[in-house]
Amino acid sequence: MNVKESIHITDVAPRDGLQNQAIHLCTADKLRLIELLVDAGLRSVEAASFVSPRAVPQMADAAELVPQVQARFPTLRTSVLVPNLKGLERAHAAGAKEIAVVLSASETMNRKNINMGLDQATEVSEQTLAAARALGLRTRAYVAVAFDCPFEGATPLDELLRLSARMHAAAADEIVIADTIGSASPGQVKERFAALRDVLPMERIAVHLHDTRGMGVANAWAALEAGVRRFDASVGGIGGCPFAPGAAGNVATEDLVLMAERSGFATGIALPGLLAAVDFAQEQLRRPLGGRAITWLRRQRDQDLQNT
């Protein structure tokens, strides 16, 4: 009997998905969305960010949400984004067990995102990772605009490799290569991850894809072929960065699961459960949601219901 190889998916809808939405979900609705994701089989969720409420008001309830998530779902791997040591302090006070820092691979994106230059942002990321490790927390380090910056254009491969190696040397448990504006193509994904293999252990690498140009799932497949087994995705394709003009939603969790399962990988995630989460988020955000396969998935669900 053949055992399917597993991939690990972190759903980032509660943080990256909701942070740029015109409608702000209340804490109870965020908790319900996370509950639906857990019911679908998700074992890892990015729940919130401890950033300035003035900059990202959708995340103002992070300190209220995180303790509730961890009390209700004690086995769920729950991560939160922190921009600096102050954010880490707030996250730790709220009981967070895993934090993520975001380092952009361009000077201008760092200044737009966290009001720091590249050198300072790199140092702050390293300091925050060290402090989190001293507190016994698990850590992720995003390397954002890993393919292109909306302000500076193409990100040099050497710069991506340099910054990724710095985050690995800072002992980040996971380095997340982020196509922040969704500009990557499968050929570029293949090239960049082939190069990253020379500076990082593949088991430490994850990929965070957006679907701006409709190539999110194709890029995920290219990453799979390159050996990546850790992925970020957002149920319903919710997302977009408030500091990256033109960035569309993340690759949809349901599309990624469908592609992976049909290609012989195991995700442990049930598509009907994901559809329930999409339906709930769609109702709360009052706009159509769903990935590329959503029409087919809903039709299949309806047919299955008719046949039962």
Which CATH number goes with the domain that contains 120? Answer: 3.20.20.70
Residue 63 has pLDDT above 90, yes or no: yes
Contact in structure between 98 and 137 (CB atoms under 8 Å): yes
Q: What is the mean pLDDT of residues 32-57?
A: 96
CA–CA separation, 307 vs 284, rounded Å?
Answer: 29
Q: What is the mean pLDDT of residues 214-236?
A: 97
Q: Radius of gyration of the chain from Cα atoms?
A: 18
241 closest CA partner among 34, 18, 53: 18
* pLDDT above 90 as % of the chain: 89
Cα 291 vs. chain centroid, distance in angstroms? 15
Measure Cα distances from 199 to 98, 164, 169, 196, 282 in Å: 24, 8, 10, 5, 41
Q: What is the mean pLDDT of residues 70-81?
A: 97
Three-state secondary-structure class, residue 226: coil
Looking at residue 1, its pLDDT comes to 46
CA–CA separation, 84 vs 102, rounded Å?
Answer: 9
Looking at residue 214, its pLDDT comes to 92
Residue 140 has pLDDT above 90, yes or no: yes
Tokens of 31: 């908790």
Active-site annotation holder among 66, 149, 241, 247: 241
Looking at residue 247, its pLDDT comes to 52
For the ranges 50-64, 216-230, 233-247, 275-289, the lowest mean pLDDT is seen at 233-247
Going through the chain in order, the beta strands assigned E by DSSP cover 5-6, 8-11, 44-49, 77-81, 98-104, 138-144, 148-149, 153-154, 174-179, 205-209, 230-233, 265-266
Q: Which residue has the tokens 């990724």?
A: 164
Contact in structure between 232 and 208 (CB atoms under 8 Å): yes
Q: What is the mean pLDDT of the chain?
A: 94
What's the domain count of the chain? Answer: 1
Looking at residue 244, its pLDDT comes to 52
Q: How confident is the model at residue 128 (pLDDT cuts 50, 70, 90)?
A: very high
Contact in structure between 37 and 45 (CB atoms under 8 Å): yes
Where do runs of H (alpha helix) occur along 3-61? 27-40
3-state helix, strand, coil in the chain (%, to 5): 50, 20, 35
What SS3 string covers 46-58? EEEECCCCCCCHH
pTM, whole model, 2 decimals? 0.95
Going through 145-235 in order, the beta strands assigned E by DSSP cover 148-149, 153-154, 174-179, 205-209, 230-233
Clarify whether 241 is annotated catalytic.
Answer: yes
CA–CA separation, 256 vs 258, rounded Å?
Answer: 5
H or E element in which residue 260 lies:
helix 253-262
Looking at residue 241, its pLDDT comes to 54
Residue 266 has pLDDT above 60, yes or no: yes
* pLDDT above 70 as % of the chain: 96
Looking at residue 255, its pLDDT comes to 97
The pairing of beta strand 148-149 with beta strand 153-154: antiparallel
208 has which bridge partners?
178, 232
Over the stretch 96-114, which tens digit does the pLDDT of each residue have?
Answer: 999 999 999 999 999 988 8
Looking at residue 306, its pLDDT comes to 84
Residue 243 has pLDDT above 80, yes or no: no
20 closest CA partner among 105, 158, 96, 113: 113
Domain that holds residue 30: 5-306
